[in-house]
Structure 1
Amino acid sequence: MQIKDVLLAAGNGAFFYDDQAAIRAGAPQDGFIYVGEPTTPGLTSIRVPASSLSVGLVLADDAVVWGDMMNVQYSGAAGRDALFDTAKISDLMSRVVTPRLLDVDASRYIDACADAFEPLEDKRLPLALEYGVSQALLRATAYLQRRTMAEVVCAEFGLPLPTLRVPIYCQSGDAREINVDKMILKGVDVLPHGLINSWQKFGVAGQTFMEFVKWVAARTREIGRPGYQPVLHFDVYGWIGLEIGLETQRVADFICKVADSVPDFTVNIECPADFGSTQAQIDNYARIVSILNDRGSSARIVVDERCNTLEDIRLFAEAKAAHLIQIKTPDVGSIADTARAVLFCKENQVGAYVGGSCTETDLSAQASVHVSVATQADMMLAKPGMGVDEAFSIVGNEQSRLLAILNRRRAQNENVG
């Protein structure tokens, strides 16, 4: 079951790499660009078109299976890997990883990943590289075993074949009002993200944000189908802490106020504050979660910043430092670690959200669907890009096709039994 050749193809991510620090510091927008000098190392401007690199594994019968490498939108922020460098990753692939791949047994997924991702000079390989190669290896194993990628994950981790669909979460980008309408009309499970990434969008004491939350709820009632009640999920990029302050009681008070303003909805607040380090984030988020739970609030805290790798996710889950953990797939590295991360969350009764980034591709999004469904995550991101239609169709249709295959497989097994 050997791989006989490895192909590389430069490509595009579905959105842009952005300088979070410069945007947070108030860089003004001019149309689609941000004006000013970048502050995050590696970025030549505040907004840079996202690049990707595809890796193709040529199998013994000349079939080629692919995976895509890229970094997340806010590369270099909050402990994440630096901006994706196609030339450096290509060189590392050719010198180090390709020779390893030519020696692995592609029919044994977890073992193949372990062999391919051995540390180099005691350092872990770039997480983007792990992410793309692990997708290609998952497709290779699925192809060789005549299974879906989800079935490979289930077999490798001793999981039963899933029966339930995973709720899908869409993100609006800056086209908030139009994209919220699209989400409501399409009956999206979780919406709208909102991209509350600047003071202008958050407002004095959070008033601009509060008005947006109430508008989303009102719009849902106005144009949504009867009985439609999505989860309202807002990513505030740390702006509660930046505007209200980093005292956990005040942060919790504000979150309760937001939830109380839309009492008929469950409200997720992602990244309410950035406390500066992983350990500080764990300690303070655990306090906020405890306060909200004691009050019986319907609000749920979602962690993103400072929770990047599998080890970070384990620490947050064990500390109950969030109601829901975003597993940001390119930051986690190997997509096998995304599966492990979901299972860590489940073991600790913490919600698992298989996220990722708008900078991803159709291939990485489809692979994420298989891992999400196999592990029965609590929700998954519609990706790639910042538009609603394309991402929702890529993720939603892949899930529907997968569940149709699994239902047939289950029926066949029952008939054999």
Structure 2
Amino acid sequence: MKIVDIICSEGKTGFYFDDQKAIKQGAKNDGMFYLGEPVTEGFDSIRQPGESISVMIVLEDGQVALGDCAAVQYSGAGGRDPLFLAKDFIPIIEGEIKDRLVGKETKNFKELAEEIDGMKIDGKKLHTAIRYGLTQSILDASAKAQNITKAEVIKKEYKTDVDLKRIPIFTQSGDDRYLNADKMIIKQADVMPHGLFNNVEEKLGLKGEKLKGYVEWLTKRVLDHRADENYNPTFHIDVYGTIGELLDNDIEAMTKYLGELEEVAKPFTLRIEGPMDVGERTAQMEAMRDLRKSLEDNNISVELVADEWCNTLEDVKYFAENKAGHMIQIKSPDLGGINNSIEAILFCNQVGVASYLGGTCNETSVSSEICTNIAIACGAGQVLAKPGMGVDEGIMLVNNEMNRVLALANSRK
């Protein structure tokens, strides 16, 4: 099925763009606002509405395939591509990119996705958000051309050799980690709550006591309020390097503290994302690798999730092959084309490390549903409920798409 036209529309995302540099420099909250002036190029305010671009590929039989270009909350930070504003990038998609793609055959997703992901204009690769959204629409076009689900396209083309089945859904609370945890318990979220423990003094505690107290509260909350005694969620908490910051990245001290967290989390499995941030990729890999080994040597079952300094397909492979963590987060928008997210999950499977297909709260319903198809087709360890920070909406979108895909695929067996 050939492409006959590409049409774009501006969209909103499920969260915001935040100027991370300004926030790190001390910008204060006033409700949902940040006070002060932005410092990152492109920002008009420290927090501003997230934007997306819907890329609609018109096929020769009149069907329209859809993908959404979106960038992470901290767009333009940490070496990422510039702030993603729809007005700046729609002309590029409807101009030179459209000229190159009209007339292309869409049936072979992998081949065309790799071409788009490697495409250059004036010697530069396309913005990661454009590659992300365009390859989504190509996947949808391929599925429509073959009258199968997007998950089935991936399974067939990449020969993933996995059974299409439900995988765990991971929910994130944002700062509202108590009320949102209650929502997760009511909805029986598979993996919870993320927690956003990104400050030592205010959230972790100067002796680690605040995080420990929260885990203790969370354990009791689930045991007291679960509607089914067989509901046993995994606790997955992102600490943004604060444990290492508190304990000077001392492996022995971190091992001891994680062992204490394990005790208060029982009977539930505990995962800790980003336990340290040592400021450089190789050193981060080595620290994660050594902490994992230390935990295992001490019979501590806390699982580590790699996040910091693990942003690209190459990074994912580097951390996974060195067993730098028990699970690797794959930040789908940062990897550009979704073909890279697919390859990342499959590589993790190959080397025996669990994968977490994540992304950002600052995505859309379309990109979230497409990521769900990817996660199912590749057998990811878990997939993020996104977009937004409201819990209910993200669970609904990802759960319902998962069930639709499985029902359709099973009906053809």
Distance 1:290 1:96, change over 3 A: farther
**Cα distance in 2 between the residues matched to 1:242 and 1:344:** 31
Q: Contact between 1:150 and 1:370, CA under 8 Å: does it hold in 2?
A: yes
What is the 5 A alignment of 1:32-47? 32-47=32-47
1:264 aligns with 2:270: no
The superposition leaves residues 328-383 of structure 1 with CA deviations (integer Å, 9 ceiling, x where unpaired) of 11011111211111111011111111111110100001101111001111111111
Q: Is the 8 A contact 2:219 2:264 kept in 1?
A: no
Aligned-pair CA distance for 1:36 = 3.5
Secondary structure (helix, strand or coil) at the match of 1:296 reads: coil
Mark the CA change 1:239 to 1:76 in structure 2 (over 3 Å): closer, same or farther: farther
Hey, what's the Cα distance between the residues in 1 that align with 2:100 and 2:226?
52
- State the TM-score, normalized to the length of structure 2: 0.94
- 5+ residue gaps, structure 2: none
Q: Which residue of 2 aligns with 1:354?
A: 357
Task: Select between 237-246 and 208-217 the one with higher mean Cα deviation.
Answer: 237-246
Task: Give the drift of 1:124.
Answer: 2.7
Report the aligned-residue RMSD: 1.8
Is contact 2:164–2:377 with CA below 8 Å preserved after alignment? Answer: no
| Counterpart residue number, 2:341 | 338
CA distance in 1, matches of 2:24, 2:301: 28
Stretches of structure 1 that go unaligned for 5 or more consecutive residues are 411-417
Q: Percent identity?
A: 40
Compared CA separation, residues 114 and 12, structure 1 to 2 (3 A)? same
Deviation of 1:111 after TM superposition, in Å, equals 1.3
Match of 1:414 in 2: none
**TM score, norm. by length of structure 1:** 0.93
Q: Provide, for residues 193-247 of structure 1, a one-character-per-residue CA deviation record: whole Å limited to 9, x for no partner.
A: 1122234222223222221111111101110121221000111122222333233
**Are positions 1:14 and 2:17 aligned together?**
no
Asked whether the 8 Å contact 2:373–2:405 carries over to 1, the reply is yes
Q: Distance in 2 between matches of 1:294 and 1:80?
A: 37
Alignment of 1:65-104 (within 5 A): 65-104=65-104
Per-residue deviation, 1:25: 5.0
1:371/1:6 Cα in 2 relative to 1: closer, same or farther (>3 Å)? same
> What letter matches 1:64 in structure 2?
V
- Render the CA deviation track for 1:304-323: whole Å, top value 9, x for unaligned: 22111111111111111111
Pair 1:175-2:176 in alignment: yes
Give distance in 2, aligned partners of 1:78 and 1:389. Answer: 30
1:413 matched residue in structure 2: none
Give the equivalent residue in structure 2 for 1:279: 282
Looking at structure 2, the residues matched to 24 and 202 of structure 1 have their Cα atoms a distance apart, in angstroms, of 17
Match of 1:184 in 2: 185
Structure 1 runs (4+) greater than 6 angstroms displaced: none
The 1:12/1:219 distance shift into structure 2, 3 A limit, reads: same
The answer to which of 74-83 and 134-143 deviates more is: 74-83
Query: Quick check: 2:162–2:379 contact (8 Å CA) kept in 1?
Result: no
For the residue of structure 2 that corresponds to 1:269, the secondary structure is: strand
Tell me, what secondary structure is at the counterpart of 1:316? helix
CA distance in 2, matches of 1:63, 1:129: 21
Give the one of 238, 241, 248 matched to 1:238: 241
8 Å contact 1:161–1:406 — kept in the other structure? no
